[in-house]
Amino acid sequence: MAHLSGDDKRRYVAEMFARISPRYDLMNSLMTGGMHHRWKRVTADLTGRNAVGPALDVATGTGDLAFALADCSNVTEVVGVDLLPEMLSIANRRRAAGSNYAQTVHFVQGDALRLPFPDDSFVGATAGFSLRNMPDVPSAIREMARVVAPGGRVTTLELTPMPPGIASSMGRFYFHRVVPLMGQLVAGERTAYTYLPDSVDYFLTADGLADVFRQAGLIDVGYRRLGFGGVALHFGDRAA
């Protein structure tokens, strides 16, 4: 199903995340051995480092990156946007449970390809583990660049095809064999956790995604590999 495009992909992705939402956080922690929390903190720090003001987390899901952004000293307020009410209701429960977040973090329903915000609204924008699920990645990056003010930063954290080698072979075995089994046992969802590694195979290389950032007009574009090379943290700035 990773080969789907356009509305078919949007529908498939929406139904899949609605089904797995109750076990989404648990599965992330199991699959990454808890490392995704650290990757998200690094992403938030890199995003919030440049300027003081509000930040946006696109396709926020259950809100991990929105909360990590809110913990950055430069970030005054965070908006998390997601297509799915099922994910946002978990994010809102977590917001209510965290004493620090009620004033600073807000969640709204919306489409990453048509962000419901005026140009130049935020000092930074993040998107975590969501680009693979978008029907149009260049439009998603252009939208993030549009709503970030000059001098602000766009970052994305995403699973990425690994360069060939021993780590890549081990990674493929883990993602294609172990993760679907985990998904079946923990979330009762082998299909969704088979889609996950397939969607990485269909996704842009890290260099290819950096080119998409540049084509969206971002400057000083680069990326860092995390998680033994299977995760890429991309960044790019709006010219000041």
Using CB under 6 A, list all residues that contact ligand SAM: 13, 17, 59-61, 64-65, 82-84, 87, 111-113, 128-130, 133-134
Residue 157 CB, nearest approach to ligand SAM (Å): 7
Residue 105 CB, nearest approach to ligand SAM (Å): 14
Question: What strands lie across the sheet with 122-128, from one edge to the other?
Answer: 105-109, 75-82, 53-58, 122-128, 148-159, 231-237, 219-226
Within 94-178, strands assigned E span 105-109, 122-128, 148-159
Nearer to ligand SAM, 50 or 62 (CB): 62
Nearer to ligand SAM, 151 or 174 (CB): 174
Residue 168 CB, nearest approach to ligand SAM (Å): 22
Q: How many residues does the chain have?
A: 240
Residue 171 CB, nearest approach to ligand SAM (Å): 18
Classify residue 64 as left (phi > 0), alpha (psi -120 to 50) or beta.
Answer: alpha
Nearer to ligand SAM, 103 or 114 (CB): 114
229 touches 163 (CB < 8 A): yes
Nearer to ligand SAM, 129 or 193 (CB): 129
124 touches 48 (CB < 8 A): yes
